[in-house]
Amino acid sequence: MYEHILFDLDGTLTDPHLGITNSIIYSLNKMGIDAPDNDALTPFIGPPLQESYEVYYNLSGDNNLEAVRLYREYFSDKGMYENEVYPGIELLLQALKSMDKKLYVATSKPTYFARPILEHFNLDHYFESITGSELDGTRTDKAEIVQHVLETHNLNKSTCIMIGDRKHDIIGAQKNNIDSIGVLYGYGSADEIKQASPTYTIATVDYLLEGILNKIN
């Protein structure tokens, strides 16, 4: 049934917790804002960065732009590599490719960072394309990113499914009229995923590896 599989990056393929939260702490400290510990900044993982700075620290306009700039200063030097692939993910990608499925990355992270991260972990070769947001702040909405993948590759929506760990992934899929899988091992809570109403819900990477293949054939 599904021939084209779109993956979110953060919280779905890799666990970026340390790098993202360290980058946020760096940016807040540079701006003279008291930063909490890493775990308190977990909600930043997944949504567009500009949105999170505004929601959690009321940073807008030039202050928002400066926070993002400082975040990227640390992230490009260290944070992007303070990251790890979830166990079992590469086996999943290998299995899907062996079945001639076409794989794509659709992430809110700028493509400028997403591509070298996947290259660093030697995962880039599994994907037909790696699509993220732009550094200038455009195409940050997940629905726009999914739409870009669908249109660039002229994909039949009935053959596509989006896999992600946050409501943004599910909503992005719904706005493009494609099916979705909400995974529970990432950074979206079970309630968040349930309320977003994905087509399927998968609890662990192991089950994604063992069970998802029954859903996509």
Indicate which residues carry an active-site annotation.
8
For 62, residues 6+ apart whose C-beta sits below 8 A from its C-beta are none
CA distance 50 to 62: 11
Question: By the 8 A CB rule, do 56 and 21 touch?
Answer: no
Distance between CA 106 and CA 109 in Å, rounded? 9
Nearest to 66 by CA among 40, 28, 37: 28
Q: Is 154 exposed, middle or buried (0-12, 13-18, 19+ CB in 10 A)?
A: exposed
Euclidean distance between CA atoms 109 and 128, whole angstroms? 17
Give the DSSP letter of residue 155.
-
